[in-house]
Every structure is written in C-alpha cells, then in structure tokens.
Amino acid sequence: MKRTLGTCYYPEHWPESQWAEDAARMAAIGLTWVRIGEFAWSRMEPTPGQYDWAWLDRAIDTLIAHGLKVVLGTPTATPPRWMLDRHPDMLALDANGHKRGFGSRRHYCFSHQGYIAECARITTDLAKRYGARVAAWQTDNEYGCHDTTVSYSDAARHAFRDWLAQKYQSPAALNRAWGNVFWSMEYADFAEIDLPNLTVTEANPAHAMDFRRFSSDQVARFNRVQTDIIRRHSTAPISHNYMGAVVDFDHFATGADLEIATWDSYPLGFLSDRIAASADHKRDFARQGDPDFQAFHHDLYRAVGAMRSGRAASGGRWWIMEQQPGPVNWAPFNPDPLPGMARLWAWEAFAHGAEAVCYFRWRQAPFAQEQMHAGMLRPDSEPAPAYHAAAEVAQELAAMPDVEHTTPPIALIFDYASAWAWATQPQGRGFDYFNVVFGFYKGLRRLGLSVDILPPSVTDLSAYKLVLAPAIATLPDALITALAACPSALIGPRSNSKTPEFSIPNPLPPNLPGLDCVVARVETLPPDLPVPLAQGGTFHLWREKLEGSAQVIEETTDGWPALVAHGGLHYLAGLPDEVALARILTRLCAAQGIEAAALPEGLRCRQSGTRTFWFNYAAVEVTHAGHTLPPAGVAWD
Amino acid sequence: MKRTLGTCYYPEHWPESQWAEDAARMAAIGLTWVRIGEFAWSRMEPTPGQYDWAWLDRAIDTLIAHGLKVVLGTPTATPPRWMLDRHPDMLALDANGHKRGFGSRRHYCFSHQGYIAECARITTDLAKRYGARVAAWQTDNEYGCHDTTVSYSDAARHAFRDWLAQKYQSPAALNRAWGNVFWSMEYADFAEIDLPNLTVTEANPAHAMDFRRFSSDQVARFNRVQTDIIRRHSTAPISHNYMGAVVDFDHFATGADLEIATWDSYPLGFLSDRIAASADHKRDFARQGDPDFQAFHHDLYRAVGAMRSGRAASGGRWWIMEQQPGPVNWAPFNPDPLPGMARLWAWEAFAHGAEAVCYFRWRQAPFAQEQMHAGMLRPDSEPAPAYHAAAEVAQELAAMPDVEHTTPPIALIFDYASAWAWATQPQGRGFDYFNVVFGFYKGLRRLGLSVDILPPSVTDLSAYKLVLAPAIATLPDALITALAACPSALIGPRSNSKTPEFSIPNPLPPNLPGLDCVVARVETLPPDLPVPLAQGGTFHLWREKLEGSAQVIEETTDGWPALVAHGGLHYLAGLPDEVALARILTRLCAAQGIEAAALPEGLRCRQSGTRTFWFNYAAVEVTHAGHTLPPAGVAWD
Amino acid sequence: MKRTLGTCYYPEHWPESQWAEDAARMAAIGLTWVRIGEFAWSRMEPTPGQYDWAWLDRAIDTLIAHGLKVVLGTPTATPPRWMLDRHPDMLALDANGHKRGFGSRRHYCFSHQGYIAECARITTDLAKRYGARVAAWQTDNEYGCHDTTVSYSDAARHAFRDWLAQKYQSPAALNRAWGNVFWSMEYADFAEIDLPNLTVTEANPAHAMDFRRFSSDQVARFNRVQTDIIRRHSTAPISHNYMGAVVDFDHFATGADLEIATWDSYPLGFLSDRIAASADHKRDFARQGDPDFQAFHHDLYRAVGAMRSGRAASGGRWWIMEQQPGPVNWAPFNPDPLPGMARLWAWEAFAHGAEAVCYFRWRQAPFAQEQMHAGMLRPDSEPAPAYHAAAEVAQELAAMPDVEHTTPPIALIFDYASAWAWATQPQGRGFDYFNVVFGFYKGLRRLGLSVDILPPSVTDLSAYKLVLAPAIATLPDALITALAACPSALIGPRSNSKTPEFSIPNPLPPNLPGLDCVVARVETLPPDLPVPLAQGGTFHLWREKLEGSAQVIEETTDGWPALVAHGGLHYLAGLPDEVALARILTRLCAAQGIEAAALPEGLRCRQSGTRTFWFNYAAVEVTHAGHTLPPAGVAWD
C-alpha cells in the first residue's frame, strides 16, 4: 500500500492571508494529510449556540484546493470558557479533591452527562457540515493525557455507583467479591460507596481496581457517542490519537469503535520521562529516543487498529498522528534530536506498517503553552529541520515499492487491565506493568526479532511459533487454551495470579494446563538485592518460589526453580535482567528454529513483508550485516 | 514462667465449616492463644442496634472446645459504614484539612465524643457477653498506625481548646508560656486558638508541642473508656497491640490502664521503612531485620507492661501480638525472610521476657488489602514456613525450663515527649529522637550488653550501675536526682534543653547538680561535615559547645569539650558515631566493672535470669563464645 | 561617609527593668542603630482601637537616652489575631487553594483592601506619634518571605481582573496578547478570568506571567500606602528590609518609594538552601557562606537604594538590617560560623558601600519560633561571639578613614521580570534566572573584579567598559541602544527571546543592532549531557543554535557558533561552565584593558573608592598580593 505523510495545522492561529501559501508549501514537499480543528471550539462556537463556520469552510476549501486531504478533529478536548457557566460541575477532581480547572485543556470529567450532550451536539454539527468533504476524522485529542482518565468528581461518583449496581446487582454480591468483611468495609447500599481516594490507608484493591475498570469504560463510552454520530453523516474513517505510554484506559476497547488507531510519538520526551532505564541509557539516547519505545507502540497500535475490522492484528490500520519534529517543551530537559532522526522515526513507522506519518506541527506557534515546541517551520516561517526531513522521506517513499507488512513468528500479549492491577498493587516499588512488558519486548528486539503485539482477547495464536504473556493478572480461559496450543509460550512471572474479583485464586497460580507448579510465595527485591540465576544473570524486583513437579529448566543460585516447563508451555519465576532474558529467549527461539542473534548497541531491525529495514539509534556509526549506518542512519535490504 | 505461642484468626473471613479444622490444627502444633474479633464490627452489628452474636458465640465455642484461649479485641479500629451516617463529622482531618475517609481502617478522630460513645456501647456489649469466657482482651488495634494519632478535625479543635483552658486557666497565662508576644501571636480567648496546621511558616513550637501532648492524651483517654468498661465485666487482663516505631503518643500513659503491653513485630518492613541506616546495612539485613530493632521494642514494652502493676520495669508483662510470618505487603519492597527467622524472632522475644508470641495471621487472606501478607497457612490452607517454625518453637519451649528475666546492670531512659519535641524542632534535618536513642541502644547491644528501658517518670535507679539518658528535652527533677545518685550516668546531648513550656531554660542547659558546664551554643551538621573527636570517631548531626570548669574527659579536634564529668555524672556534647560511642561506652562500663566486648557483625546476645541466649542476625555463619551459629541461628548457654 | 553598626531589639520581649542595661551595653560596644517595633502590633493595639503606646514611648525614651538612634518598623507583617475577626477573608491562599492561616507571620494577602486600610491606620498612628523622634523607618518586614508574594485568594482574583482590564482594556485585546485561540482559552469578559492555578496542565505562560507582574505590583502598591503616610508626618528616611534571593517582586519598583534599601543577610542558611552549587562547594563553605552571595546582594541593593534619589547606581543608599550573628534555626542544617565571620561579613558590606550593618538580634529569645536563632547575647544575657565581633568592628571603624565607594568598570543587569519569565517557562529543569545571573557574577568575582548591578531601566551605560546582560527575557529598546554603545557588552543566552506579551518575537531573537544572527532553535541539556566548546569548557543546561553571518569568536565542538560578535556587542549561545566563562570574561576584559586574574579559592576582593579590601572565605590560610589572610581574614591596602 501507499505510505503517506502529513502535518497538523491550526488555521485559526494564523492570518487567513497565510493559508494558501502554507497549503502550497505542504503540497510542494509531498505532504498528503492535514489534521485541523481539534482545539478550535471557541472559534467554531464563540458563544453558546452562535456558530461561526465560515472561516473553517474557507480553510478546508483552501487545503483541498491544494490537493491536501483533511483530517478533521472534534474539538471536545478544549471546551470554551462559557461551557463552565452552563455546566459548573463538569470539571474533573484530582485524588485530593481539588478541581482541575479551566485555563489549559482536557478540563472535563468523562462521566458528566451534560458535557457529553454538548459534545454530541458539536460533533453532530461538524459531521453534518463536513461529513462529505473530509478524508478522515479524529475524535477529541489524546484521551488520558495529563492524567485525565480518572476523575473523583460527583459525576464520576454517581456513575461509578450505577456501574457497580449493574455489575454486581446487590451490595451483598459486591461485598463478597471485594472481600469487604475484611476491616468491616461492608456496604448496605450502592449509594454508600465512595470513590477509593482519601482513605486513611490504601483502599481495598478490589475497590480501586473496579474504579479503574469503570474509568476506562467511561472513556470508551464517551468516544462511542462521537463515533456513532459521525457514522450517521460520513463514510470517512474515524481515528483517535493515543498518547504514548498512557495505559489508564483500554485502547483495545476504544479501538473497537475506530477504523484507524493513531498515536503521538515524542521519542525524546518519552525516554526522559516515561521509561524505567539507567542514567547511562538515558544519556546515550537523549537525542535519539529509546531504540524500542517507538517500535513497541507501532506494534501495539497496529493491534489496536485491527479491533474494529476484525482482521488479524498484523494487519491493523494505524498512523502516527503527531511525530516529534525537533525539541519539544514538556520534558524535564528538551534536547535537539540528532540530525536525521525525524527521517529515521518516519521510516521506522512505515516499516512497522504505518499508513501515514504526520509531523506535529506545521509552524511553531510563538504564543501560549507550546511556544517552545518545534514545528516543521520556525515561528518566522523559515524551514526547520523536520521540513527538510519530510521532503526527503516523501521523495524516498515515491521511489520505494510498497512496504507491505507480514506476520512475524513471535507475539507478545498486552493487557491494559494488568497495568491497572499492578498499579493498584505493585507489592514492590517500581513494579510497573508497562515497563515489565516493555522489558520483554526490548529483549526480543535486541535479538533482531520482529514482534506482533496482541490483545488478551485473542483466541487463535496459530500464526505464531512463540508467544510471550508475562504478568497478566487474570488469563482468560480462551487465552490459556491458545497459549497451551502454541509451539512455545513463555508465561510469568505474576501471571494468572488474580481472580477477576482481584483475589488470589485457589488453586494457587499459575494454574496452567499440564504444568505442575504453584507459586508458594512471592517476594519483591530492592535494587541492590537481586537473586542470581545459576546460568548467569539475575531476577530483579520480583521473584517467586515455585513448588511442584514441573520440569526445571533453570534454577536460581539459592536453589529454587527459575524456569519450568511442560512441553512448549514455560513459566518464568521472576523478572529477568538483560543477561538472563537474552539467554532464555535465545533458547526458546532456537527450539523453534527462529533465528536470533544479538545486534550491536543501538541498531534495530524490522522485517516487513518485502524487505528488512535497519535503524541506527546509536550516536556512532555501526556496521552490521553488510550495512554501515551513520548515527540516525536507515538502511533496507 | 511458661512461655506460649498463638495466632490471629478471623472466623468471619472463612466458612464456618472450616473453623473446627482450623482450631484443631492450631492446637496440634502447640498454639495456646487465638486473637479474634478486632475488625468484625460490621458482623457483630450489621445495622445500627441490630446485633448478630450467634456466629461469634459459635466461633468462641469452637476455639475453646479445642483447648485454645481466646483474646478478644474490641472492633473500634474499624467502625462500619453506617457509623458515618450517624456521625458524619467523626472522621479525622489531615494536616492539609482533607478528610481521611471510609474505605480502609482507623477512620475516626480520637476526640469525637459521639464516636467514643458508640465505642463504649459496643465494648459494653462485648464485655458483658464474653467477659467470663475470654482469657484476655485487646482494645482497638494499633493506635496511631497510618499516622492517625493526630487529627485536625473540628472535634479535635474544640477539645484542644478545652485542654488548653484546663492547663493554662487564662489566655494571658498561655500567651506567657508560649511566648506569643513574639510575632504578635497573642490570644484574647481560648476560642481564638486554632490547631497548629496551615500556618504561613512554622507555628510556634510551644503551640505545636502542646497539640502533640493533647493528641497523646486523647489516645489515653479514648483507651481508658474501654478499659473501665471491660473491668466492670471481666477479670481477664487487658492489652493493646502497639505498632513498632510509632511514638506519636505516650505508650507509658496508655500502659497505665493495661495489664499487658503487646506489640506487632514486622522486622523486615521496619528495617526498610523506619530506621535511619546505611544502604549497605539495609541490604545486609534485608531478609533478617535490623539486629537491634526488635530487642529495643521488647525492652521498651516490658517497661510499658509494668506501668499498671507498679512492678519493676524488668518485670513488666508483655507479648508479641503480631509476629511477621513471611513476606508482608506494606513495605517498599517485601522480601522473603531467611529460613529460620520466624523461629529466631520468637526466641528473641522469649529471651527478653515475652509471655507469648502470636503469629499474624493464621491463614493468608486471598482478598482485600492484606492479600499479599503471608500467614502461617497459604491461602489454599497448605502450611507456610511460619507454620513449621511455630511447631518447632512449641516443641523447644516444651523442652525448655522456664526462661526467667533478670534486671541487667544498664538502663536507658525513653521519653515520648522528647520525640514530639524534636519532631517539632529538629534544628537539623533528620534529628529524630527515636533514632537518637536507638543509636545508643545499638551501641550497647554491639558490646553484648542487656538493657532495661525505663520511663522518664522513674525515680529509683538503684538497681543499675550505668544509666543513659540522651536527648531528653526536659529532665524531671526526680530523674535528675536519681541520675546523680547512679554509679554512672551518661546524659546529653540536647538533654534538659527545654523548659516544660518549650523555652530555653535559664540557667542554660544541662544544669545538672555539681556539673559546671553550660551549652553556650549548638550547631547541626550536614552529613558530610562531622566533627572529629581527638581519640577517634566523630560527632555527627548535632554538636554543642560547652563552657565551664567541669572535668574534660574527651575533646573534639577543634578544641571543645566532647565529654565532661563530675563524679559519675557524664555529659556528652554531641551525637557520637559508632566508633566514638563504642569507646565511650566501653570506658563507662569498665569503670563500673561491667563486661563489654564487641560482638561479631550480626550476632547479638541476651542475658535472661537463667541463661544467655545468642542470636545470629547475619546471613553468614558466626562462631563466638563456643557457639557456631548458622544464619538465623539461635543458641543458649 | 561614616559607617555604623546596629542591632534589632524587641523591648516587648523583655522586662522593662532590663531595657536600660541593654541600651547601655549596646552603646558601650559602639552600636549606633536599634531597630524596634516591627512585630509588636498586638502590644501597640491589644484590642481593636484600644492603643497602648506608653510602653513604646518609654522604650524609645530609654534607647535615645543612651545615645542610640531608633529605626521604627511598621508592624504590618504580623496582624494580631483579632484582625481576622474583622477581615476573615484577608488571608492568602496557596496554589492548592488552602488558606495560609494565623499562627506565625505574613498571614495576609497584598490585595485585601480591608487589611490595607488597617495598615494605613496603624501607620498613621505611628508616624504621627513618633515621626519626629525616630531616625529612620522600616515598612513591614521581609516582603515575600515564606513565599508570600503570590496569593490565590478571592481578593487577589478580583484585583487581578481589574489589573488586566486596566492593562488590556478589552477581552479581545487580552485574548490576542495571550494567544488564547490556542486550546480555545478565549475569554468574553474579564470576570471569566481565574488565577492561573489548579489548571489541568500548565496555564498559558502569558497568563502566569501577567499574574506574576500583577503580584509584584501589589507589593509596591501595598508598600506605597505606608510610605505616603509616613512622609506626611516625618522627614526620616524610609527603608524596607528585603530578604536575600527573594525575587518574586520587583525590588526596583518598591525601591522607588524608599530612601534606603536594606537586606537581611544570612550567609550560611542561604548557601545551604538557595544556591545551586555542588555538594563539595556547600561543604567547603558551610561555616562561611558562599564567597559571592553576599557581595551580589550588596551590589544589587546598592542599585535598589538609588532608585528614589535618581543618583547613579554606584551611589545608592543601603544597609544590612539583619546580619547573621551565629547559628540560625531555619536552614536544613545550621552550623556555627567560623570564628571571625561576623566581622568579615560586616567589613565586606562596608567595602561595598553599606551605610550600616545591624546584627539580628540583640539577645537570643528563649521562646517561640526563633528560639534557636543566635543573637549578640545568649538567652542568659552573656555575650555571644557576635557581641565581641561587633565591638571589634566598631573599634576598627573608628580608626578607619571613610570607606568611599567608586564606580567599577564592569556592570551587570538584573531584571526581576526575567526571573518570573523563566520560572514560568524554565524549558529545562533548574533554569533559574537568579542562578544564571549569579553564575556570571561569580565568574567576574573569581577574576578579582568589582561590579555594579543595574536595573533594566538603565539608559546610560557610559560609565562602564564592559556590561553583561544575560538571559533578559525582553530587552527594553533603550537598554539595547545603551548596550550597543558600550565599549563591550556580553548578551545572551536566552536574551530578548520574548515579546512583552510573552511570545516569541519575529524577527527571532536576539535581534540586536548590527549583529546578524538568529537563534534558530534552542535545547536544554541534562546535567550529564553538556556541549563542549572547542577552546575548553562546556555549555550546560541551555544552548542555542545560531544562524547568520555575525563574526564567530568561539565554537562548540559540534560545530555551532558559541560566541559571536559585531564590534563590542557579543552574544553568547549557551550557559558557560566555570572554565568557559573564565576564558570568555578574561578575553573581554583584556580587550578593554581591565585587569583580571584568577584569585585563590575562597579569596575575594573589592575595590572601594579609596582602597582595596580582601576577604578570605576559605577555611584555610591564603597568601595573595602581599597579604596573608587566615580563615575569615580581612585585609585592606
């Protein structure tokens, strides 16, 4: 298929006299897409009920006239100031009970019915007016960004009680499910249940976990109001731009209502802010981004993009809606990317199956919150590095036969609910589901392997030789069956260790078919107290003591099983460090005839359907497999 | 006397069909005690005034029928949800003014009269119904845990004003005592006085200190309501289970209303969370606990347990009510104890005079907040390591002649009010009374010495050859007299440096009989700026510059007196590090003919009346004094 | 002119019987000034409208009778408790919306009209009664201390809306200036605008910046109410005692209403708490203070003291109103100053032009918040080290011909608004305007140079050969003209990078006359990612990539210009480390014939009009330029 480029544009930020020249320059360097509209509510509807569509009509006319395709965003992430007069209680509250007020963005609670009705109204207006003209839609903007998935407002409280009543039907059933007899926490009525904040010590984890499930559901429900309306008036595909490393709501659930998954990729800020990594690693990749973080999200959103169509995860539709173009403004430190990275990032996305990559944003805004965020143009309209990078990629794409995806032999399961489970109950400081799964993913990538990421709802794994499913709190029965049927599966640690009610199951975990082992007890380890494995490397942070007769493949030096198996089904009893993980993965791959060999530091590769791509994230030149790549270099076979 | 074992059990958590088997297994491994009831209010009184005693009757019947003795807890740490409808203002407020709500435990303010009346009611019911059947009582659970001693509620504010009016009689007297002329803080009426939170900069320390005194008094008053009621209906001894390292209220004061002091001993969590120690020390003892922390509390609670009876501190009655059995759930990291520690901890308690050690809890609960807290049984009812350890200790106890306590030659004064004083006015970051006193205690223990801990109200020290009284803000006159009469006493630093009104005394401190020295000024020292002593070692954190003609025994390298004396009365002018402390203590012991010699790392000993016990806290084998102890080893002469 | 000494005294803290002896001792050691009254409102007006002046009359009588001159402070930093009953809404609110209550000091919001009226009333009373007797006045005490410049109260909200309406005249104009079209933040009415706290993510920086400007204006307005009143009744000069390193309000603006600028100098606390410096530096100077921090403030307040008179900045009138005498109570650690420092600090102030140095305080108060703060006397009235130091300095002053100031060849611009700008938008963690400018100042001082500090309103720089103006957000046109006319000027980094509306200017910065360069983009650097310069040293934290044809004087090793010039106008493209700064300053000085050579570690000098003073801040003896100075030594040529 054809891979394309685009940008994000805010006609309302610039004099109308500049629009045509901007559009002409976009087209001239080979951009296809322009996303607009997603923050412009105060210009679409300056006062309640008084619309001004004329400027937006002309902006869309201008862009289309220059051959560009328009992605139109609903403006619901930024309700205007007058909205608060109509709905004073629409604001979210933080965990301390403080209102999260007007003056930036995302100042709404997902559970507020009045605000949802306003969103339905403006979405209806937009869909009716532009449904036939736009090439794609975006709902809202970056759900969950700025920690906005969860709200402790009255609207959320009432909605949560209703949600619980639906789920449990009676307070007695809820009390049993949560174990409220513990500490006399039993409720006589759903109306007695508060949100799980501001308790003396931690709330019941079952309470907290249900509140996280509810909060995720509210995002999907909010989004569905808009997709239902848009579909009545438009056949253009609908997308949402997810934010990297935000796992507070289930993207697979919202994905089921969207044709295209898109994500906003800011490699430098993410490395600095959202990855558990050593200081050395953060320094070495400060101008390039983590070598695996982008690919992980590419693979994840490919799966999210497949949810609505029902096609295989490998074939999901996805984009980068916002690609970092240069230094940004929001990380603790904001260095300039290494020359070439804006090209590398785009090519890596295409190699993972992206349909489009849009740089954020066309021109750096000289005012307001993001004035220090680079664009493709400087504030004085001169080209910034990403302008040239985009032009170069556009030319390369034109010369490149289609980049088709393929299904790799390895898959990894990603389960949002487990992220909530272990955030609710880390048991050891820093036990974070995203970083646990990402660690396994990195281990695969360092061995040169390409990976599909799959939702926990998957029931057919027959396309894969090896499937990893670490740290999933509750394995669905169908997934257990599918894993057991795989040529090779690696499960654990902490897998299947909770019931759906967030209790410890009986029989004890992992309770996998044919694998005679139970987790007799677990321990969490301070960073300076890892447990060595007999064959090298360590378990860190988390380790389990297994009992049972399952075949022991590796042991710890203190004499406990580290890796056990029954046929192709493997269970790992702790969090492996890089050394241990590399050995274990190499062993599993070898058994399945999958080629795996350590790549040089910073080099990564991706097998697409038609060719192998190489990406050099290192700040030094790397030679490997017949390619010599400079820093930020890209090559393909 | 006979030493016994027990456990904590929650019949309301399990099917009634399981009770008899549980009781039989307890009895079979040699347990004597079962504590029940302390969190079961919502089952005792499911709706206000509607009681359900039948289940508790049957549970107690079952336990007694198996030969077990019941400790019954009042359930007042966990008021049911309906209590809040009756007393919406019963919740404590934190220092920011946020309500500390329902959903976990300890959600009440000690000053709320309405809630106190409810506690009196349920205690009366329990005492009447079970007063003749239970073998011991426990009031509430872990007063002060989760930082709950202090509340900033309206109830606390009004009670504090009354408390101040009682104490000072007139606002003018209070203004004088606090020095309110400073910064125009004078009050015209007690009703003008707020709690000392939310001030622009720090509140007057005299104000803060009186609020701490008041808050401590409220705990004692709350507890006394229950003990008064229980005694009307029962002759069984009454206990409370104190939490380790909680010093926000005066345990000696509550102790005066209780026959038995008990404490909840979690060595691994305490080491990680509550002790000022090096990272190396925390790593080396991560699976054993600090070698002195448990002993310190044993000695402290032995003194607390003597308050009501009036017997000598050495002979106080005390238990461990909750003994860590395996990994817990609440510390930053929760490693598995070294095999053998569950036995060592129990024996160490007995060697210090414990009457009973109860493991917490019988069976790990698979649900709610403590589902990751180990028990004697796993959630699937299989034995966990502590089950076997308890059985082993029970057998050893049966074979052991009585372990009698004796009075050691050394005593250490512990004064809760000084903990509040230095928390109010640390003057140097990290100046923490508990850790200061614990440092002196560790110094004694590293020399193989056994210690009595005494309250500041002690007036007769004639049983001791050497008494340490560091950092007591205000030395009572009677204590000064007793110290001066000792063969040897070590006082300072920071001793007697405040008046009861929390001012600097005039004459300046230490103002001790016959000792001609004054603290001309003090300084606090960053960690990288210790002051070396001429004979080795340093003062760290705190040092004083002394003037006067007292005999100088040690000096700092910058030429100031470090240790001065008049006869047996010694004053120390700073916080000594390990090297300096060991030398000074060795010198003082030698002068009194007390044998003192450094023990190997991690080895500790305790002289009971009949024998010497040895405990190896090290992770390696240790040979000393004819004993070779493996890690976690216990030996006795 | 004659240099004098003084102290701060609180007659209301002591028995009246002690006053005469205190005054006699002050006079006997050569003190001239006594500051009184500034916290005594509750004694001046014990109940609303009921005054008690008798004690203050007698106190002033006593002091004057002993030949002392009285500085009288208005007591408005400490409104009595009854004030809150009259004005319950007078308290400031913090950024979380919590009230900053009664119980310490500075518990008022600068915008509260009711409280301002009360301050006017008491000031009128004082000015009328004592206007003819006192030798100088002080308004309030330490504006801004304890983070009190900014308040989020209702009073502040309403005043801010009025301030904005005055400034912008229409909401449309404000929306354009702030760029509120971004994220639909547009306002239809000034009454819709809230304070910039409690937003979901950061507020618009233009909004935040205007709120900081407003907050600063409110301080100047508050102060002016008092100065206007005092001048009606007294000809004595009026001062305010600024707190070191408080930059939340514009001291030049308040300075325009005051004859004398004074500041409160606590070298040890400031080093520990308010300076960005290495741990080694903080340890090495823990008992002396930073070698440049005091001098920086001396030079700054000399300029502030010139604002009202209009005389040259070199000739401004200034004092130290509170000089640290010994250990204080408020820093994380409070060591004892090295013997001699209380003398060194005074002499360094005189060498920089101070008219008077007053030690805080006469006698250490044994009660209330500052009981651990040393005085000239101990609480028992015995002399503390500062008593002897003051006596020594008084004798030396008597023997010393006048210390006249002169105008040095080098000036540095200090702009409070830039401190607010970069606090609003640091872009890199730790980019702090005070520490940036202080870094350049230290660079000059390490080369033995004396410096004038100037406000950004300066229009004539003809007295100087070299002027530094780093990091000023918006350079006024007149200042640009003056800098361009200098023999040599060093501008940048980050200079002139904002419009007055807090946008990025177009043309891009620095936009200086004749200097063909633009900042194409900027990056902020983590501490472990500095950018090396080709000639040695590095840029750290902040660096810019310059384009244009300006002459390149230095380069980075990655090939970008580091220092460019057009004639004498230099622009620096990053924050230099010590090595790079020393080289660049040496080069600039050499070009102007200014002698500059690195001084030994800890040694500093100051050229006054008549002689050169040397100060040894090192803890070791230093020999240089014919002088051998012991630790804390002072010498002059």
CA dihedral C320, C324, C328, C334 (to 10 degrees): 120
pLDDT at B529 over 80: yes
User: What confidence tens digit (pLDDT) does each residue in A209-247 have?
Assistant: 999 999 999 999 999 999 999 999 999 999 999 998 899
Cβ-contact B388, B443 below 8 angstroms: no
pLDDT band at A369 (very low <50, low <70, confident <90, very high): very high
Q: How far away is chain C from the Cα of B564, in angstroms, using its nearest Cα?
A: 21
Answer whether B136 touches A (CB < 8 Å).
no
Residue C171 in tokens: 């909401």
Q: Which residues of C are catalytic?
A: 142, 322
Within chain A, what is the greatest distance between any pair of CA atoms?
A: 77
pLDDT at B259: 98
Q: CA-CA distances (angstroms) from residue A190 to A153, A169, A215, B346, C330?
A: 17, 9, 17, 45, 50
pLDDT at C218: 98
Average pLDDT for B517-542 = 98
How many residues in chain A?
637
CB neighbour class for C242 (10 Å; exposed up to 12, middle 13-18, buried from 19) = buried
User: What confidence tens digit (pLDDT) does each residue in C524-548 have?
Assistant: 999 999 999 999 999 999 999 999 9
Q: Per the CB < 8 Å rule, is B146 touching A521?
A: no
pLDDT at A91: 98
- Determine which one of B45, B118, B142, B348 is catalytic: B142
Best CA proximity match to C517, nearest among C576, C588, C571: C571
pLDDT at C1 over 80: no
pLDDT band at C608 (very low <50, low <70, confident <90, very high): confident
Determine the CATH number of domain A410-591. 3.40.50.880
pLDDT at C200 over 90: yes
Q: How far away is chain A from the Cα of B78, in angstroms, using its nearest Cα?
A: 6
Ligand-binding annotation for C329, yes or no, is no
pLDDT band at C70 (very low <50, low <70, confident <90, very high): very high
Residue B170 in tokens: 């007139």
pLDDT band at B185 (very low <50, low <70, confident <90, very high): very high
Residues from chain A contacting residue B327 (CB–CB below 8 Å): 521-524
Answer whether B207 touches C (CB < 8 Å).
yes
pLDDT at A1 over 80: no
CA distance B178 to B462: 37
C333 vs B180, B204, B525: nearest CB: B525
User: What confidence tens digit (pLDDT) does each residue in A46-87 have?
Assistant: 999 999 999 999 999 999 999 999 999 999 999 999 999 999
User: What confidence tens digit (pLDDT) does each residue in C410-453 have?
Assistant: 999 999 999 999 999 999 999 999 999 999 999 999 999 999 99
pLDDT band at B618 (very low <50, low <70, confident <90, very high): very high
pLDDT at B245: 86
User: What confidence tens digit (pLDDT) does each residue in C30-49 have?
Assistant: 999 999 999 999 999 999 99
pLDDT at B233 over 90: yes
Residue B124 in tokens: 């009366």
Average pLDDT for C46-60 = 98
Residue B280 in tokens: 């190396």
Q: Per the CB < 8 Å rule, is B100 touching A504?
A: no
Residues from chain A contacting residue C524 (CB–CB below 8 Å): 327, 333-335
Buried/exposed code over C590-626 (b: 16+ C-beta within 10 A; e: otherwise) = eebebebeebeebbbbbbbeeebbbbbbbeeebeeee
Answer whether A628 touches B (CB < 8 Å).
no
Mutant choice from B152, B183, B557, B558 vs C, greatest count of C C-beta within 10 A: B183
Fold of A4-155+208-399: TIM Barrel (3.20.20)
Mutant choice from A106, A146, A367 vs C, greatest count of C C-beta within 10 A: A367
Q: Per the CB < 8 Å rule, is A104 touching C525?
A: no
Q: How many pairs of residues across A and C have Cβ atoms under 8 Å apart? A: 165
Cβ-contact B64, B70 below 8 angstroms: yes
pLDDT at A629: 98
Domain range summary for chain B, segments of one domain joined by +: 4-155+208-399, 410-591, 603-636
pLDDT at C401 over 80: no
How many residues in chain C?
637
CB neighbour class for A624 (10 Å; exposed up to 12, middle 13-18, buried from 19) = middle
Best CA proximity match to B545, nearest among B528, B530, B526, B523: B523
Ligand-binding annotation for C105, yes or no, is yes
Buried/exposed code over C427-452 (b: 16+ C-beta within 10 A; e: otherwise) = bbebbbbbbbbbbbbbbbbbbbbbbb
pLDDT at A403 over 80: no
Q: Per the CB < 8 Å rule, is A286 touching C192?
A: no
Average pLDDT for A13-33 = 98
User: What confidence tens digit (pLDDT) does each residue in B554-567 have?
Assistant: 999 999 999 999 99
pLDDT at A312: 87
Q: What percent of chain A has pLDDT over 70?
A: 100
pLDDT band at C12 (very low <50, low <70, confident <90, very high): very high
- Least trusted range by pLDDT, from B325-339, B397-411, B436-450: B397-411
Residue B248 in tokens: 């926000």
Cβ-contact B118, B79 below 8 angstroms: yes
Average pLDDT for C141-160 = 98
Q: How far away is chain A from the Cα of B373, in angstroms, using its nearest Cα?
A: 10
Q: How far away is chain C from the Cα of B173, in angstroms, using its nearest Cα?
A: 14
Task: Look up residue B408 and give its amino acid.
Answer: P
Q: Which residues of A are catalytic?
A: 142, 322
Residue A575 in tokens: 């969090």
pLDDT band at B310 (very low <50, low <70, confident <90, very high): confident
CA atoms within a 13 Å half-sphere pointing along the CA-CB vector of B354: 29
pLDDT band at A404 (very low <50, low <70, confident <90, very high): confident
B106 vs A185, A200, A508: nearest CB: A200
pLDDT at A507 over 90: yes
CA distance B313 to B311: 6
Average pLDDT for B157-180 = 98
pLDDT at A610: 80
pLDDT at C403: 77
Q: How many pairs of residues across A and B have Cβ atoms under 8 Å apart? A: 166
pLDDT band at B91 (very low <50, low <70, confident <90, very high): very high
CB neighbour class for B600 (10 Å; exposed up to 12, middle 13-18, buried from 19) = middle
Mean pLDDT of chain A: 97
Q: Enumerate residues 6+ apart whose C-beta is below 8 A from A274.
A: A244, A245
SS3 breakdown of chain A: % helix, strand, coil, rounded to 5?
Answer: 35, 20, 45
Q: Per the CB < 8 Å rule, is B179 touching C81?
A: no
Answer whether C188 touches A (CB < 8 Å).
yes
Answer whether A96 touches C (CB < 8 Å).
yes
User: What confidence tens digit (pLDDT) does each residue in C205-232 have?
Assistant: 999 999 999 999 999 999 999 999 999 9
Pairing assessment for the beta strands B569-572 and B561-566 based on DSSP bridges: antiparallel
pLDDT at B311: 84
Q: CA-CA distances (angstroms) from residue B366 to A180, A500, A512?
A: 12, 13, 19
pLDDT at A235: 98
pLDDT at B96 over 90: yes
Q: Which chains does C contact via 3+ CB–CB distances below 8 A? A: A, B
Q: Kindly provide the ipTM of the predicted complex, given to two decimals.
A: 0.96
Residues 517-556 on B with a CB inside 8 Å of C are: 518, 520-526, 528-529, 545
User: What confidence tens digit (pLDDT) does each residue in A152-186 have?
Assistant: 999 999 999 999 999 999 999 999 999 999 999 99
